[in-house]
């Protein structure tokens, strides 16, 4: 049975990874040349290639050990996106009744916005403010990204959070193609990773 292992992909390998969010958009061109565009999914999904970070035989051995411990695609794990792993912004507004909130990150400009739920905050990095006041009167679940205040925040108070986070991913292959000739000869290793959606 598949599961999620709460362990991190080796950080030195993650630093060299490339990738990012994927959106699925259905585009229909009408007879008059106009387009109709619809999104097939409400949320984006991230895909990475971590093979760029494999620079030596030692790196490859580390990767193989991690791959085998996850049994290929079977078990998920944490991955640090080198380009997008920090949050500092609003996550909600108090109503005097609600004590539980989901950590999230907003992506916005003047024309639109999207709120991304964050389910894998990094332990020990979370700072919460109610308005402008720091508070420690809460508990956080670092496996779901949910925070529960000891007392529901008062109505109208802005709740903000600053923290680091990981992306829940799995290997997107059941085979690692390795070669000694790759090292020192400009070769690359392909290590595809894909985001998995964790129930928040």
**Which letter, b or e, does each residue of 54-92 get, where b requires 16 or more Cβ atoms within 10 Å of its Cβ?**
beeeebbebbeebbeebeebebbbbbbbbeebebeeebb
The pairing of beta strand 35-39 with beta strand 25-29: antiparallel
Using left for φ > 0, alpha for ψ between -120 and 50, and beta otherwise, residue 61 falls in alpha
pTM above 0.75, yes or no: yes
pLDDT of residue 200: 42
**Domain assignments of the chain as residue spans, ordered by start:** 1-84+167-200, 86-165
Ranking 11-15, 98-102, 170-174 by mean pLDDT, the lowest is 11-15
Confidence band of 30 (pLDDT split at 50, 70, 90): confident
Distance (Å, whole) CA 75 – CA 4? 5
Phi then psi dihedrals of residue 12, to 5 deg: -60, -30
Asked if 159 and 15 count as a contact pair (C-beta separation under 8 A), the reply is no
């Amino acid at each position: 049975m598949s599961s999620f292992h709460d362990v991190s992909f080796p950080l030195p390998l993650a630093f060299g990874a490339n990738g990012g969010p994927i959106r699925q958009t259905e585009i229909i061109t009408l007879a008059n040349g106009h387009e109709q565009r619809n999104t097939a999914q409400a949320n984006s999904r991230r895909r990475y290639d971590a093979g760029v970070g494999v620079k030596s035989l030692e790196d490859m051995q580390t990767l193989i050990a991690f791959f085998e411990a996850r049994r290929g695609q079977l078990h998920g794990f944490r991955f640090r996106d080198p380009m997008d792993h920090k949050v500092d912004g609003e996550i909600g507004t108090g109503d005097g009744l609600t004590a539980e909130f989901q950590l999230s990150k907003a992506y916005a400009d003047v024309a639109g916005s999207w709120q991304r739920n964050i389910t894998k905050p990094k332990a020990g990095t979370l700072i919460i403010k109610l308005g402008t006041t720091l508070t420690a009167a809460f508990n956080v679940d670092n496996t779901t990204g949910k925070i529960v205040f000891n007392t529901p925040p008062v109505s109208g108070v802005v709740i903000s959070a600053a923290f680091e986070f990981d992306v829940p991913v799995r290997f997107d292959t059941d085979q690692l193609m390795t070669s000694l000739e790759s090292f020192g000869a400009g070769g690359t290793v392909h290590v595809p990773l894909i985001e998995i959606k964790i129930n928040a």
